Every structure is written in C-alpha cells, then in structure tokens.
A and B are shown apart, each in its own frame.
Chain A
Amino acid sequence: MVKTILDELIETDEFLLAGNTACPGCGSILALRYVLKALGKNTILVIPASCSSVYQAIYPKVSFKVITFNVAFASAAAVASGVKQALIKKGYDDVNVAVWGGDGGLIDIGAATVSGAAERNEDIFVFVYDNEAYMNTGIQRSGSTPPGARTTTTPLGKIVGFKKPMSFLMLLHGVPYVATASIAYPTDLYEKVKRAREIKGFKFIHILSPCPPGWRFDDSKTIEVARLAVETGYWILWEGGYRNGKINLNLSPPSRPYKDPSKRKSLEEFLKYQGRFKGFDEHSLKKLRDWIDYQWSFIDNFTRDHA
C-alpha cells in the first residue's frame, strides 16, 4: 500500500492529549495538534498568556506532551530567543524552539518582541493561532479583529481599526519562512511546518483558528467556518519568505482558485454563521470587503513584482 500523508499522520504520536480544558470545537488546539505532530518530541513550546496557557489544564497535570514554558504576555518571542541561544551555546542547536500564542500576545502586545526576534532572524518558530480577539479574557477586540466584528469592547462592531496584516509584516522583515494556514486544511498546515523545520532562521506561521464562543457559532461548525474563510477569499493561504536573495510569496493550493474573485463564495456565506457579525451594517461590510481586497492586492502586487 502506498504510504500517504494520512498514514503518516496516523502513525505519528499525539502530543496534544485528550481531556484538556479547551472549549469544545476549539480551533486552536486542533491547530496545535498538527503543529506538534510535525515538530515532534524534540520541541520546546514557549507560551505567552493566551487560551493556550489555560487549555494546558491544571497543575500538577498538563495536556501537552512536549516541554512547555509559560511566560508573561509580551515576552514569548524574546524568551524563545534566549532559550534557543542557550541551546546553541550548549551544543543542542537542532532542538525546535516554538512560540505558540494568540493574536493578542503576538500581534498586539508582543508585536515589538516578535518583530525584534524576526529582525535578528532568531532560529525559532512563532506560531500565531488567530482567533481574532482576546478570547481567553472573554472576547475583547485585538488589532487582529476584522472590521465590523462585535466583541465586548466593540459592542457595536469594530469601527476603529483594520485587521493588522501581521504575516505581510513578517514577510517584509525578510525572514526565510512565512506562511498562513487554516484548521480546515490540516495536512496543508502539517506540511508547511515540516517544510519550515528544514529552514534555519525565523519562521512565522499564522493560523486562522475560529472560536465558537468568540465568533458565536455552534461548536460543530468550526471546520465549516474555517473552510468558508478560505473559500470566500477572506483568509488567504500562502507560503513565502526571503531566501537566496529572492523574496517570494506563493499561494497554497487551497487558495489558488480564489485569486479570481468570481470563483469566491459570497462573503455572506462566511458571515451568516457568526453571531459576531450580526447586525452588520453597510459601512462595516464595505470595510471588511476593503480588507479582503487589500490582502489580495498585496499578493497580486507582490507576486507580480517579485515573481
């Protein structure tokens, strides 16, 4: 029998253990499940304040089967830098050091820290599971909350602000590996992490992780929502980086059809499941479409000039 990626996945260990304290249907732990399968046991996770600090469960037990270091909110990428440098000094430079955190800790409060680590090209992974708000503290808006979304600090919908394009920012730092992913395409995520593992230097992977309580949809719809995000062009799957004197950005197979706007499902398909977009007005809808256009425009320009 030909060994497929599914066989490979079934054979690899589960490092994310069942019986954790994540919400039912959580997008983030599904993402972590695949990230850890790809990284393996030779891994240290550095985790800032986030849902992942909490879904590890409670002392003296933990739901992750890799070494995990819990750290203060903004500090993760710097702590990871220190860990990696120490391991290099001690002769263990093949250990995977990975930051695993949310959009709050890595796109807002930790943005400077992540940027600094990227600028130094630290040989670490930074994984952002983006559930588009500060979910752990009860759904407050972050810089990654999309325009128009309701959160407890934007009860009428996010009017001030855009969605910070963190993965584009990371690409522009000139780091060797940047990618986006979605939990609806776990094999895509798994293979991206495996490819990233081969690269020395700063690796940034931004994973859209729908959140049932935060986005207000039924627990069972997590994958459906994550898939629609891609199919409507809202979330773009790509992979790129600056290597060998060239900066590149390539659309991943699931997103390629949606380069053509006419192939995209209507945005309402994505919005309809989510209570956070209820009562979405025209102004907000326009801003959201603007943000989608902005992303595709960046990708078009980038791939044209830097093909």
Chain B
Amino acid sequence: MGIYDVITGNDAVAWGARLSRVEVIAAYPITPQTTIVEKLAEWVDKGEINARYIAVESEHSAMSAAMGASAAGARAFTATSSQGFLYMFEMISWAAGARTPIVMAVVNRALGPPWNIWSEHTDALMARDTGWIQFWASNNQEALDSIIQAYRVAEDKRVILPAMVMLGGFVLSHTAMPVKIHDQNKVDQYLPPYNPPHYVLNPKLSEPFAYGNILFPWDYVKVRLSIQKAMENSIDVIKRAAREFEEIFGIWHGDLIKEAYTDNAEMLIFALGAVAEQAEATAESLRKNGYKVGVVKVRITRPFPKQEIAKLANKVSHIIVIDRDISFGWDGILAGEIKATLHEYKVDTPVTTKIMGIGGDDILPSHIEKAVKEIYSK
C-alpha cells in the first residue's frame, strides 16, 4: 500500500535505493551523506534488503567497486559529497565511459579549504562534463523518487549511462519532511530488474572479450561520441520516465524542468534543487504583491534542457539565475549555461546571475525578493 513517514532526505534516498532493489552497495562515509550508508547498513544487517555491502576504504574505491559490480551485471549504488566526490572524480568519468548505469546520490556540500560541511552545488556541477545524467531533488519526496527514476533512465537500453541524484546538504539530507514510501510492488512494476544489453563481465554468460584496451583516435571518436548520442536519447527517456512515474505513483516532480507561476510571468527565476523550492515559496508571495514572477526548477542539468529553457525565456523580459555555486573566473555555472543556451536559440532575454548561498550561507526569501525588486526598479 505504501506508507507515509516523516523522514530526512538521506533516509528518503536510502528508501529509494531499497525500493529499487539495489544489489551491490559501495559505502564510504562523508558528512552530510553518511546517514545514507548507515541506514543501508542497518537494513542489510537486519536482512531487510538483500544486497552485497562493500565498506570500501575510500570514495575512489567506492566508485570503482560500484562500476565493477555494474559491469558484472548488478544494480549498483553509492553516495558521496564534496571532497569525496572530487576524490572519486576520475572514476566518475571512467564509469560513464564504461557505460555502467550506476546511480549515485550526491549530497551537495561546499569544498575546502577551509572546511565546510554545508550545502553548495559546486561539487556535483563539476561533473557536468563527464557523461553522467544529473538529477536535482528539491524536496525529500523528490529525492526518493529520483533515485527510482534515475535507475529507470540509466538502465534504459537507449541510454546506458550512470546517473547522479543531488540533494542539498543539511537542507534536505538532515531535514525531516513527510514522504510517501511507495509500495514495493508498484516500484517493481515501474522498474524491472537490470539486464545489461551491451556487455557483462561474466564468463558463464559471455564469450571472452576485452573492454577498453587501446584504440586509435579515429575509433575513440566513435566510441566516445556515442555517449553524446546516448545523452540526446535520454531526453525522451527522462520525459517518459517522469510521465509513467506520475501514472503509477500519482506524483509529478517535473521532467527536465518544473515550472511554477510561469503563466503570464514577466520575469523568471531559475534555480536547482531546494533553492528552487525556496524560490517558489518566495514567488508565491511576490505574486501576491503584484510582481509577475515565475520559477523554473531546473531538475536535470545533464542533458541540459536547452529547448525547454529557451522556450520559456522567450516569453519573459528578464531572467534571474540563482547559482548556489561558482565557477571561478567565469560565472555562476547554471547562469553561464543558460546564457549560452539563449544565445544558441537566439533569445535575447537578459540574464542576471545571482550567486547565493555559497558554503551553506542562508538563502532567505528576503534575498530573493531583493534581487527581483532590483530588476523591477530598473
């Protein structure tokens, strides 16, 4: 039947992994992700989930082990944040090239030095070039549901790419919210077992072959650019996965994006994850005060929802992008990508970058209102 409970974002992620019937978990602790792997360990030890649990000695090994498990045909899961994410970075890239549809939860956390454990999006955004599909959860329900959707998308035979699901450190990971924990049978209906269509490391199931030995540049081009093609395919797959999720579970988180208050908006605010929910709440009150502001939650950053964003931008006279991240020497990362998208689609709506909430600094409704009112006053 499914149950309602008030749980943290991390517990929601753990439930997502459990309901997805993950088969191999590679676990390494790092604040603020740790309670994910702790919850999973508890369930494994109690026999509530039937997964192999590898308590690896580093994040680099966590991604390595998850990749090995996936390549051998198992549904693999891991989780990390910040420094751990950066430590495993070469393996993140390798996993995409190995076409292993792992799902990883990334609990966003600021980078050091100096040490900081609070929410910032720069960590996961740094992997936007690696070939991973990127989901951003804006609340705990979405965190749980996005894990399930992520497996569905990643394992789709038109895609076969790993996917990461982001949730804000402490803001979501350690904040309890009401969440519907779905019925296992419904999830099984939505998410079939993983059956690798492309290769499997198992001599009982496959003739011998080698994966990834040296090749010449002209062959590398074809192999690597097929990842781009898979990304392009994933756009429809993501949309369909979200639609079918709504049909079965009755919940809609958006597909590539989710709009709020965009009808006859004059200005749009773009943001990721929990920041978008914050913006939405602020937009509600701004609307009441006569500001025609809408919010676009960018739910997926890879593949980047260019068409959807260009279309919405075309209808308004100004855009604010809230970036809880920064690319030093460049811009807010989301803002930079949106600006490039608008240029590509010949949309000349002005875009203002607002870098906010770096290092977990508060993003308050008053900050967002101020940004909106500033633009209006010009």
A contact set with B: CB distance below 8 Å: 41-44, 46, 53-54, 56-60, 62, 64-72, 74-90, 92, 95, 112-113, 115-116, 119-120
Contact = CB atoms under 8 A, between A and B. Distances in A.
Contacts of B221: none
B203 A83 contact: no
A108 to B, nearest CB: 15
B60 A82 contact: no
Given A56-B210, A95-B203, A79 B60 contact: no
Contact of A56 (B60, B202, B213): B213
Given A75-B61, A75-B91, A90 B213 contact: no
A68 B211 contact: yes
B52 interface: yes
A116 B68 contact: no
A82 B54 contact: yes
B270 to A, nearest CB: 35
Interface stretch (B35-43, B70-78, B225-233): B70-78
B344 interface: no
A59 B61 CA distance: 27
Given A67-B210, A72-B94, A112-B58, 16 more contacts: A41-B203, A44-B72, A46-B68, A69-B71, A70-B210, A71-B67, A75-B94, A79-B67, A82-B71, A85-B52, A86-B23, A89-B74, A90-B23, A90-B202, A112-B57, A113-B58
B143 to A, nearest CB: 24
16 contacts: A44-B202, A58-B213, A68-B208, A69-B68, A69-B210, A71-B68, A81-B64, A82-B64, A82-B67, A82-B68, A82-B72, A83-B68, A85-B74, A86-B73, A113-B64, A120-B55
A83 B213 contact: no
Interface in B233-285: none
A85 B24 CA distance: 7
Which has the most chain A C-beta neighbours within 10 Å: B62, B67, B68, B212?
B68
B1 interface: no
A85 B214 contact: no
Contacts of A68: 208-211, 213
* Band of interface residues on B: 35 or more
Interface in B83-98: 90-91, 94
Contacts of B211: 68-70
Nearest to A80: B68
Contacts of A95: 202-204
Contact of B213 (A65, A70, A74, A79): A70
A87 B209 contact: no
A83 B61 contact: no
B206 interface: yes
B3 interface: no
Closest 8 CB pairs of A and B: A82-B68, A116-B57, A82-B65, A86-B74, A59-B215, A78-B61, A78-B64, A70-B212
Contacts of B212: 69-71
A59 B68 contact: no
Contact of B76 (A70, A75, A82): A82
A95 B54 CA distance: 18
Contact of B74 (A42, A78, A90, A120): A90
Nearest to B212: A70
Interface in B5-60: 23-24, 26, 51-52, 54-58, 60
A169 to B, nearest CB: 15
A92 B76 CA distance: 17
A10 B7 CA distance: 63
Contacts of B52: 85-86, 88-89
A86 B203 contact: no
Nearest to A124: B68
B330 interface: no
Contacts of B316: none
B201 interface: yes
B99 to A, nearest CB: 12
A64 B208 contact: yes
B56 A81 contact: yes
A89 B51 contact: yes
A225 B85 CA distance: 45
A116 B201 CA distance: 22
Given A68-B210, A70-B212, A89-B24, A78 B68 contact: yes
A65 B208 contact: yes
B214 A58 contact: yes
Q: Which of B51, B56, B203 has the most CB of A within 10 A?
A: B203
Nearest to A88: B52
A59 B219 CA distance: 8
Contacts of B203: 41-44, 66-67, 95
Contacts of B60: 74-75, 78, 113
A90 B57 contact: no
B69 A53 contact: no
Contacts of B70: 82, 86
Contacts of B4: none
A161 B359 CA distance: 42
A53 B90 CA distance: 17
A193 B71 CA distance: 25
Contact of A92 (B69, B202, B210, B214): B202
B66 interface: yes
B216 interface: yes
A64 B209 CA distance: 8
Contacts of B51: 89
A165 B51 CA distance: 36
A38 to B, nearest CB: 15
**Which of A78, A90, A120 gathers most chain B CB within 10 Å?**
A78
A166 B203 CA distance: 30
Contacts of A57: 213-214
Given A67-B208, A116-B56, A85 B61 contact: no
A86 B213 contact: no
Contacts of A60: 215, 219
Given A67-B203, A82-B54, A87-B202, A72 B76 contact: no
Contacts of A85: 24, 52, 54, 65, 69, 74
